[in-house]
Structure 1
């Protein structure tokens, strides 16, 4: 792996990790900028680097903030899968349309992982109740984050690649 790749992987790992500390607690699932960074990572980095960057962040969160003990750990797992999927879908052809589709799929992956884990941890809640708690309140905010991530990745891609 090149020094440039290691540096960019470390940078995005730390940015994603640090974004987990800035929370707006509005319920059992707080609002963070993590999804924004996951989307940017997926849109900007090659699949291997996107995977490593989000995996390193997941490990940092497990070590330093005990994310694995949280009801929202499924979302963190979803970040790794999502960034990798987005990167696989956009690496060879990063058009705006392809970015929109891949970000939509990536966000859906995050929601599915987070919702299923949340439901697993709280089996007394119905799946519909869990969806209402974990996704519905965040749709508009995540839509805005997706638009900003696509715009930022488009700008950064010119510099990075």
Structure 2
């Protein structure tokens, strides 16, 4: 299956936005709050599974290129891995029509991101950096602090995806 020029443009835009979103941050503990999750969720809602995968692969490669290999040992790297898995998975579920409720898809995506990223964060903090954080401290620093912002980013992603979908329908009808 070929990728069209339009899809390459969309993949590139979502990769760039995801990457740029990582620099818009509020530093809180070992993992900052960033806007990259918003664009990962939009990639899942707007792109094909292949497009969502490539957008997040490019995002990951840009992060490695700019920040260097030491980023692999950062507590937030597990979340980048999660983005690479979750965006195409949610896109695939949406595309197959298994679940059409975008809000519920965003909840699933967010939970999966936490399920993949938080254990990696815990490993880096407790094993590599030799901290002695309890499970509750890990959940606080890796999940609970992020819930309000992720809730808002989820609402924004669903709203933006619906607006863009309605605009795309209007453009197609006028051509």
Same fold, judged at TM 0.5 (above): yes
Determine whether 1:74 maps to 2:78: yes
Select the structure of larger CA radius of gyration: 2
Structure 2 unaligned segments of length 5 or more: list them. 127-131, 170-175
Determine whether 1:127 maps to 2:135: yes
Q: CA deviation at 1:102?
A: 1.1
User: 1:139: which partner in 2?
Assistant: 147
Determine whether 1:102 maps to 2:110: no
Determine whether 1:148 maps to 2:151: no
Structure 1 unaligned segments of length 5 or more: list them. none
> What is the distance in 1 between the residues matched to 2:81 and 2:168?
26
Q: Is the 8 A contact 2:73 2:124 kept in 1?
A: no
> What is the distance in 2 between the residues matched to 1:81 and 1:22?
22
User: 2:120: which partner in 1?
Assistant: 117
> What is the distance in 2 between the residues matched to 1:159 and 1:68?
39
User: 2:87: which partner in 1?
Assistant: 83
Q: Deviations over 1:60-106 (max 9, x none)?
A: 101112332311101111111121122112124498x6211111111
Q: CA deviation at 1:49?
A: 0.3
State the secondary structure of the residue aligned to 1:36. helix
> What is the distance in 1 between the residues matched to 2:44 and 2:153?
13
- Aligned mate of 1:57, from 51, 56, 59: 59
